[in-house]
Amino acid sequence: MLSTIARRLAYGVLILIGVNLATFFLFFTVNTPDDMARLNIGGKRVTQTQIVKWKAERGYDKPLYVNDTHTGSERYTDTIFWDRSVSLFTLNFGRSDSESAGDIGYQVRERMAVSLQLALPLFILQVIASTAFALLLVMLRQTRFDAWGVVLCVLMLSISSLFYIIVGQYLFSRVLRLAPISGYAAGFDAVKFLVLPIALSLLARLGGEARLYRAMFLEEMGRDYVRTARAKGLGEPRVLFGHVLRNALIPIVTSAGGYLPYVFLGSLVFESFFGLPGLGAYVIDAIANQDFAVVRTMVFLGSLLYVLSYIAIDIAYTWIDPRVRLS
């Protein structure tokens, strides 16, 4: 198992290197440091003095790949590529391009805590609610409840998450006044600001997840081991929970595991609409402010989390199904 994990990690490093190189090339080829300076300074009249000062403050006055003013290793380490690309592998994100955002690493640490408060309970509740609803539909299959349940799932996944947000804010915040419409507070006061976005996000994802899990369970229901279990006299709940659910856990873990990066990176839409200072809102602000340093950092973090998530999923397979081996 250790050799397989090491091999997967090596693949992950190669993926990160490729993503990092592609991102750096695109950002610094399409937009030169001078272009970045003009976009961030703004205004119609941007002098060359302002551009030079802006680049010097952020280290963009260095050569891209090779610094001919130095000798030895400093020829390659005292460059924009080293400071803004290679340094990401040490989790040294540097300073943002905008005037007020400051150190990116500090912002990531502070905002990740807020994103976790939103996404971690949502992740747990989503898996439980979707699995339970799908099992209920399968238990009552070929009934009106199952038929209308499938219709409800299709209806729910066909509606944009923006609709849930707008209607939910109007109904629960403005009309019923059960939760704040937006904002955030530290400590236990954060609960009242997180209940509504968690509930609405859960509702927005429930239809698609439950319909997918229902299809997985129905596929397992036609297996030979299910017919054997019924032939031995086992009841339907015992068959569903003791056999079908256990054998369908691999696709469920695969589907749920793909959501893990969002647990750390936050939700772009929900954090923005509810005024939560998480990583999702941080990315939206960076895009609006043309802050390419933050965008590059978040692309790298997203790739890193996806690689680690799917390695964790591969390891989880061996715990779920003894027939699966990482060898």
Residue 274 — φ and ψ, nearest 5°?
Answer: -100, 5
User: Looking at the predicted structure, is the pLDDT value of residue 78 above 90?
Assistant: no
- 294-319 pLDDT, tens digit per residue, is 888 888 988 888 888 888 888 887 77
Sign of CA dihedral 277, 282, 284, 287: positive
- 194-215 pLDDT, tens digit per residue, is 999 999 999 988 999 999 999 9
Average pLDDT of the residues in 256-272: 78
Average pLDDT of the residues in 15-34: 86
Residue 31 — φ and ψ, nearest 5°?
Answer: -120, 115
What is the predicted pLDDT for the residue at 193? 92
Q: Answer with the residue of higher pLDDT: 5 or 104.
A: 104
Reference 169, options 202, 193, 153, 138; nearest CA is 193
Q: Answer with the residue of higher pLDDT: 133 or 322.
A: 133
**Which of 219-223, 237-241, 321-325 has the weakest average pLDDT?**
321-325
Sign of CA dihedral 200, 255, 284, 161: negative
Q: Mind giving me the DSSP string for 96-165?
A: -SSSS--BHHHHHHHHHHHHHHHHHHHHHHHHHHHHHHHHHHHHTTTSHHHHHHHHHHHHHHHS-HHHHH
Question: With bands split at pLDDT 50, 70 and 90, how would you rate the model's confidence at 189?
Answer: confident
Q: Mind giving me the DSSP string for 165-199?
A: HHHHIIIIIIIS--S-SS---SGGGHHHHHHHHHH
What is the predicted pLDDT for the residue at 43? 62
Q: For the chain, give the mean pLDDT.
A: 85
What is the predicted pLDDT for the residue at 76? 86
Average pLDDT of the residues in 48-76: 84
* Topology (CATH level 3) of domain 106-320: MetI-like fold (1.10.3720)
205: which residues sit within 8 A by CB, 6+ positions away?
A: 126, 130
What is the predicted pLDDT for the residue at 51? 85
CA angle 261, 262, 267 (to 5 degrees): 160
Question: With bands split at pLDDT 50, 70 and 90, how would you rate the model's confidence at 326?
Answer: low
Average pLDDT of the residues in 287-296: 83
What is the predicted pLDDT for the residue at 319? 78
CA distances, 177 to each of 83, 181, 218, 231 (Å): 49, 9, 41, 54
- 115-154 pLDDT, tens digit per residue, is 888 888 988 898 899 999 999 999 888 899 999 999 999 9
The rounded distance, in Å, linking the Cα atoms of 326 and 315 is 7
Percent of the chain past pLDDT 70, that is, above it, reads: 95
- 89-112 pLDDT, tens digit per residue, is 888 888 888 766 578 888 888 888
Average pLDDT of the residues in 245-250: 83
Other CB atoms within 10 Å distance of the CB of residue 16: 17
The rounded distance, in Å, linking the Cα atoms of 190 and 184 is 6
CA distances, 206 to each of 57, 95, 129, 141 (Å): 47, 39, 7, 19
What is the predicted pLDDT for the residue at 327? 55
Task: State if pTM tops 0.85.
Answer: no
Would residue 300 be called left, alpha or beta, if left means φ above 0 and alpha means ψ between -120 and 50 degrees?
alpha
The rounded distance, in Å, linking the Cα atoms of 100 and 216 is 49
Reference 121, options 11, 247, 270; nearest CA is 270
Terminal Cα-to-Cα distance of the chain (whole angstroms) = 6
Sequence ranges of the domains in the chain: 2-90, 106-320
Sign of CA dihedral 12, 18, 22, 24: positive
- 153-169 pLDDT, tens digit per residue, is 999 989 888 899 999 99
53: which residues sit within 8 A by CB, 6+ positions away?
A: none
Percent of the chain past pLDDT 90, that is, above it, reads: 18
What is the predicted pLDDT for the residue at 100? 61
Contact 51, 37 (CB under 8 A): yes
